[in-house]
Amino acid sequence: MSQPTFTTPDLNSFCLLDDLGLRVTGQQIHHDRAILECRLAEDDPWCRHCGGEGIPRGTVVRRLAHLPLGWRPTTLWVRVRRYRCTDCARVWRQDTSTAAAPRTKLSRHAVLWALKSVVIDRMSIARVAAALAASWHTVNDAVLAAGRQLLIEDPHRFEGVKVIGVDEHCWRHTGRGSHYVTVVIDLTPVREGTGPARLLDMVPGRSKAVFKTWIDAQNEDFRNGIEVVAMDGFSGFKTATAEELPEATAVMDPFHVVALAGDALDQTRQRVQRETTGHRGRSGDPLYGARKTLRTGADLLTEPQDRRLRKVFAADEHVEVEATWSAYQKIVAAYRCASKPAGKQMLNEVINSLRRGVPARLVELKKLGRTLNRRAVDILAYFDRPGTSNGPTEAINGRLEHLRGTALGFRNLANYITRALLDTGGFRPLLHLHLR
Cα–Cα distance measured from residue 210 to residue 225, given in angstroms and rounded to the nearest whole number: 20
Quick one: 263 and 229 in the same domain? no
Range of the domain at 244: 163-253+389-434
In a domain, 203, yes or no: yes
Cα–Cα distance measured from residue 416 to residue 155, given in angstroms and rounded to the nearest whole number: 21
Question: 201 near 184, Cβ under 8 Å?
Answer: yes
Rg of the chain's alpha carbons, rounded to an integer? 31
Cα–Cα distance measured from residue 198 to residue 183, given in angstroms and rounded to the nearest whole number: 11
Backbone angles phi, psi at 78, to 5 degrees: -90, 115
Quick one: 17 and 147 in the same domain? yes
Question: 25 near 38, Cβ under 8 Å?
Answer: yes
Please tell me the total count of domains within the chain: 3
Quick one: 136 and 85 in the same domain? yes
For 138, the 3-state DSSP assignment is helix
Single residue among 104, 124, 152 that ends a domain in this structure: 152
- CATH number for the domain harbouring residue 215: 3.30.420.10
Cα–Cα distance measured from residue 378 to residue 140, given in angstroms and rounded to the nearest whole number: 42
For 206, the 3-state DSSP assignment is coil
Single residue among 100, 124, 152 that ends a domain in this structure: 152
Quick one: 286 and 186 in the same domain? no
Quick one: 178 and 125 in the same domain? no
Cα–Cα distance measured from residue 132 to residue 71, given in angstroms and rounded to the nearest whole number: 10
Tell which phi-psi region holds residue 164, choosing left (phi > 0), alpha (psi between -120 and 50) or beta.
Answer: beta
Closest CA to 98 of 83, 115, 80: 80
Quick one: 132 and 29 in the same domain? yes
In a domain, 327, yes or no: yes
Cβ partners under 8 Å of residue 30, min gap 6: 72
Q: What is the b/e burial string over 251-268, where b = at least 16 CB atoms within 10 angstroms of the residue's CB?
A: bbbbbbbbebbbebbbbb
Question: 410 near 404, Cβ under 8 Å?
Answer: yes
Quick one: 202 and 268 in the same domain? no
Quick one: 124 and 46 in the same domain? yes
In a domain, 403, yes or no: yes
Quick one: 396 and 355 in the same domain? no
In a domain, 3, yes or no: no
Cβ partners under 8 Å of residue 193, min gap 6: none
Residues of the chain with pLDDT under 70: 1, 177, 386-387, 433-436
Q: How many helices (H) and strands (E) does the chain have?
A: 19, 10
Question: 188 near 160, Cβ under 8 Å?
Answer: yes
Quick one: 245 and 393 in the same domain? yes
Single residue among 152, 183, 212 that ends a domain in this structure: 152
Quick one: 146 and 185 in the same domain? no
**What integer pLDDT is reported at residue 436 of this predicted model?**
53
Quick one: 361 and 306 in the same domain? yes
